[in-house]
């Protein structure tokens, strides 16, 4: 909930201050902020606009990782609001099941596309299909995000978490940039993770070796890179053409968490958000005009959030490393987008 100081009464200013104070109390310790309690308290204190009041008729949204968990929940919520969905997943059956189960209040036809985002050839085929068959695309959601317990590589020798969650979003964004610019103001949204707060920004150690591989750490490094790239895209592309936002969902009860973090899931299950609660801010960023007011922001529970909680990760976030990350992604993908097409 945003307030302009010239538009509110003293009473409203006082209430806004209480809202911010309550939000800071929740945000300071991780558990209350990331749990379902944090979302519910904020929604009530700040009188969030109900997602059900938005109308996304005429909007076309592509979302990766739509075959389960947060992606499935987001696709269904967006379809309920009237958007036309292009759901993208690695598993053909589950992705088609997602598309066929979506509501179509406006009589729109939803589309299922299958792609393994860890494979560059699949990413390019996906981009070709989206450019050719979905020229009205105005929102691209990078949501795919598996956490692996064992190291694996793609056909090019890149660790698959990094390939699917860093290089694939970079390539898709670059390959679809002209399509998105043609439907301005467009939106590119990246679902990161609160786990990125534990990881510093690195390029030469972005891919963990087999000897020291830990799935949760590899995931956190990739998610940190995602958030940094979100800011870099926002600096490159004018907000009048495309806005870029990243976010984290808090702790959500998804199949991925159940499978990859069983102990975490077992102990914290009562505090976990439902998938629908986990995608509230994502859907809000698709639907609400506040998303067009700024670009390059990292969000949680409808609020901009800091990029760092720990001094050591802040120290790692240098201009040199940021430039190295962009250059590495450009070199690996062959994507080097121009800054603007002009007005």
Residues serving a catalytic function are: 219
Q: Length of the chain in residues, anyone?
A: 343
How far apart are the C-alpha atoms of 79 and 108, rounded to whole Å? 9
The Cα 54–Cα 283 span in angstroms is: 10
User: Would you tell me the crossing angle of helices 280-287 and 69-80 to the nearest 10 degrees?
Assistant: 40
For 107, the token pair is 């009589």
User: In angstroms, rounded to a whole number, what is the distance separating the alpha carbons of residues 89 and 100?
Assistant: 14
* Per-state percent for the chain, helix, strand, coil, to nearest 5: 50, 10, 40
Report how far residue 48's alpha carbon sits from residue 187's, in angstroms, rounded to the nearest whole number.
Answer: 21
* Pair 95, 112: CB distance under 8 Å: yes
Q: Which residues contact 270 (CB under 8 A, 6 or more apart)?
A: none
Nearest to 39 by CA among 26, 28, 21, 54: 26
Q: Indicate the SS3 state at residue 113.
A: strand
Q: Are 22 and 41 in contact (CB under 8 A)?
A: yes
CA gap 64, 49 in Å, rounded:
26
Query: In angstroms, rounded to a whole number, what is the distance separating the alpha carbons of residues 53 and 66?
Result: 23
Q: Which residues share a beta bridge with 298?
A: 246
The span from the CA of 165 to the CA of 118, in Å, is: 8
Angle at 201 between CA 249 and CA 207, to 5 degrees: 90
- The dihedrals phi and psi of 139, each to the nearest 5 degrees, come to -140, 130
Neighbour tally for 316: CB within 10 Å = 15
């Amino acid at each position: 909930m945003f307030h302009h100081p010239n538009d509110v009464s003293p009473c409203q200013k006082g209430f806004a201050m209480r809202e911010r104070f309550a939000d800071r109390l929740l945000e300071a310790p991780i558990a209350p902020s990331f749990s379902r309690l944090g979302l519910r308290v904020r929604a009530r204190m700040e009188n969030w606009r109900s997602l059900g009041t938005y109308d996304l008729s005429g909007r076309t949204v592509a979302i990766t990782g739509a075959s389960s968990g947060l992606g499935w929940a987001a696709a269904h919520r967006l379809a309920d609001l009237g958007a036309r969905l292009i759901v993208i997943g690695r598993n053909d059956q589950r992705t088609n099941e997602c598309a066929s189960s979506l509501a179509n209040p406006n009589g729109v036809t939803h589309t299922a596309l299958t792609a393994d985002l860890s494979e560059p050839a699949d990413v390019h085929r996906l981009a070709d299909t989206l450019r050719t068959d979905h020229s009205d695309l105005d929102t691209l959601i990078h949501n795919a995000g598996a956490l692996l317990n064992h190291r694996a590589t793609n056909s090019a020798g890149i660790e698959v978490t990094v390939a699917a969650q860093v290089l694939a979003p970079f390539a898709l964004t670059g390959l679809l940039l002209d399509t998105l610019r043609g439907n301005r103001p467009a939106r590119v949204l990246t679902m990161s993770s609160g786990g990125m707060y534990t990881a510093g920004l690195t390029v030469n150690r972005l891919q963990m070796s087999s000897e020291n591989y830990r799935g949760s750490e590899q995931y956190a490094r990739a998610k940190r890179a995602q958030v940094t790239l979100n800011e870099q895209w926002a600096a490159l592309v004018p907000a009048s053409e495309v806005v870029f936002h990243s976010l984290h969902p808090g702790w959500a009860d998804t199949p991925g968490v159940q499978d990859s973090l069983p102990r975490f899931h077992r102990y914290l299950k009562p505090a976990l958000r439902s998938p629908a609660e986990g995608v509230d801010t994502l859907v809000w960023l698709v639907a609400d005009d506040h998303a067009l007011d700024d670009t390059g922001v990292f969000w949680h529970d409808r609020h901009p959030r800091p990029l760092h909680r720990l001094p050591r990760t802040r120290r790692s976030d240098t201009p040199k490393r940021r430039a190295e990350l962009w250059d590495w992604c450009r070199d690996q993908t062959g994507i080097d987008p121009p800054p603007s097409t002009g007005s």
